[in-house]
Amino acid sequence: MAKILDDILSYREMCDAENTQTMQRGMNFRMNLAYSVVLMSQKTNAPYSDKIYPDGITVEYEGHDLPKNYSENPKLENQPEKLPSGKLTQNGYFIRAVEEYKKNKSRPELVKIYEKIHEGVWSLKGYFDLIDYKVVNDGRRNVFRYILKLSEKEENLDNQNLILNHTRLIPSEVKREVWKRDQGKCVLCGESKNLHFDHDLPFSKGGTSLLAVNVRLLCAKCNLRKSDKIE
């Protein structure tokens, strides 16, 4: 049976996989022609309440608050479907996709989910179908909760995702171990931004990445310097 993925990526690798410099928002409707992207967190101090159901294939993802420039305390305001101007919010786009799916029996919106594990460490959970949403009172105001189910389309799309292929060869347990060992910093200069999992020997020269000892954290600058040296 299909299972949710747990592919560990650095923040930089996640952005590279989505062809973007930064991921500013948690909800990204139609990040590209093929799918939407959401960033989830199950940490207790996370700003939103997201969870994976015990069935192991369903994610409940909370909608987002009114932007800060519209309210002094967005956490006390109902999550909006539209801005005062009438423009749809990300919540609104996701709701519209659910309604279209239900009404036209069309394909559900495909959503790629990443989960934040630590600062700078993300886990790719895979591709999900956006099948439903509900409005829930969280004790203070109304919030949206979106229901996403692991999609069967996942594998076809993964083949197209070339950028992830090379980093995918490093097992997630190894990446966790490396991140811990290198303390979330570039081993050469100590930088904690723009990190990649780097393998000592390029795969093309027979390098293996199955062991943590062959993998290290490098920042983009040191990584670039390294490839200069090889050529």
128 to 34, 58, 84: CA distances (angstroms): 12, 8, 31
Kindly tell me which of 102 and 193 has the beta carbon lying closer to Zn ion. Answer: 193
How far, in whole angstroms, is CA 147 from its chain's centroid? 16
Q: Which is nearer to Zn ion, 112 or 196 (CB)?
A: 196
Distance CA 165, CA 154 (A): 14
**Residue 52 vs 218, nearer CB to Zn ion:** 218
Q: What's the CA dihedral at 226, 174, 179, 8 to 10 degrees? A: 100
Q: How many Cβ atoms from other residues are within 10 Å of residue 142's Cβ?
A: 13
The least distance separating Zn ion from the CB of residue 184, rounded to whole angstroms, comes to 12
Per the listing, tokens 């939103």 go with: 48
In the chain, the largest separation of any two C-alpha atoms, in whole Å, equals 60
112 neighbors 126 (Cβ within 8 angstroms): yes
**Interface positions, 74-103, toward Zn ion (CB under 5 A):** none
- By rule CB under 5 A, what string of x and - marks binding of each residue 48-77 to Zn ion? ------------------------------
Alpha helices in the chain (DSSP H): 11-17, 90-104, 154-160, 162-168, 172-181, 220-230
Q: How many residues bind Zn ion, per CB under 5 A? A: 6
Q: Least CB distance from residue 167 to Zn ion, whole Å?
A: 18
Q: Which is nearer to Zn ion, 39 or 186 (CB)?
A: 186
| CA proximity to 161, closest of 195, 124, 130, 121 | 124
Give least dist CB 225 to Zn ion, A: 8
* Candidate segments 5-13, 34-42, 75-83, 220-228, binder of Zn ion by CB under 5 A: 220-228
| Whole-angstrom distance, CA of residue 47 vs CA of residue 167 | 29
Interaction residues for Zn ion, span 128-187 (CB under 5 A): 186
Q: Which is nearer to Zn ion, 90 or 223 (CB)?
A: 223
Using CB under 5 A as the criterion, what x/- string covers residues 177-206 for binding Zn ion?
---------x-xx-x---------------
Report how far residue 192's alpha carbon sits from residue 64's, in angstroms, rounded to the nearest whole number: 28
By CB under 5 A, is residue 222 in contact with Zn ion? yes
Of 17 and 186, CB closest to Zn ion: 186
Q: How far is the CB of 181 from Zn ion (least distance, A)?
A: 16
Enumerate binding residues for Zn ion (CB under 5 A): 186, 188-189, 191, 219, 222
